[in-house]
Amino acid sequence: MASHSTGDGGIPKRGVEKDGLKRVMSLGGAYGTRNYTVKDLRDCKGKRVLVETLPFSPEEAMAAEEAGIDTMKVRFDPNQPELAASIRKAAPNTFMAFSVPLVAAASEVEAVRLGYDAMAIGADAIMCQWSPKFVAAAADAGIPIQGHAGLVPRKSTWTGGLRAVGKTLDEALWIYNEIKALEEAGAYAVEVEVIPEQLLIEISQRTSLLTSSIGGGRGGDLQFLFAEDILGNNSPPYPRHSKQYRNIFKMKQEMQAERVAGFKEFIEDVQTGSFPEQKHIIQAPEGLIDKFLSEI
């Protein structure tokens, strides 16, 4: 098959790698380059642990890509897709699964439509909290799907609230069966949240799905943390499973204090006549004001 060039500034022709990136076409029909395809990710299972994050802004996504994050999740709001699109643009070479709202699809047809809408603006996969029935419909439509098991926050009423899951035999078996059902439905990966590490180790060895661990210890094929936790964007308390590598919250407090101080100094200068100074004002040319007054 002949290669096709899109004339896009030196990006290699289809199927040719450049700087370790794969030439791809998205489900939406756009050419691009990615660090991983779904096949690449699946080939990594059992060989090395990948790192994953969820950025909340284009700046965070750009920094994550520059740092070398393997994969990202991105929240996708079908009513306001601009943020997800801007994050996609900020990190164009990183594999991204767009996280779709649970309540945005109420049928298999709507699940497929929602998945297609996300893929059309650059998603490489869909992250969802759907039932296996919805997952199967979307997967059958060609959409790579990452499911969710363990503590699923929006369904936490069924597991006793926002707490660790899988510490009893019944819960451990339920998590395993949920993951196997997603596997049977055609998902390629599953986010597993807040379960015992030893349990995830055993489950990961017994499923073909890539397991993304958030609060599941070292048992996953990917280690996942939100960017806001990694960067320390918020004040304590922090989730037990998270680690703060920076303290941007403190920096934001310091910046806010600087803003307040700047406004106070401006107010004081105006009230005391210190602002504006001569260097801040425009002098009228000689004679202009006399001529102006004579005219009015």
Residues annotated as part of the active site = 193
Decide if 134 contacts 128 (C-beta within 8 A). Answer: yes
DSSP calls for 74-138? EE--TT-THHHHHHHHHSTTSEEEEE--GGG-SSHHHHHHHHHHHHHTT-SEEE----HHHHHHH
Q: What is the distance, to the nearest Å, from the Cα of residue 265 to the centroid of all Cα atoms in its chain?
A: 40
Distance CA 207, CA 184 (A): 10
Angle at 219 between CA 216 and CA 225, to 5 degrees: 45
Q: CA 290, CA 134: separation in Å to the nearest integer?
A: 81
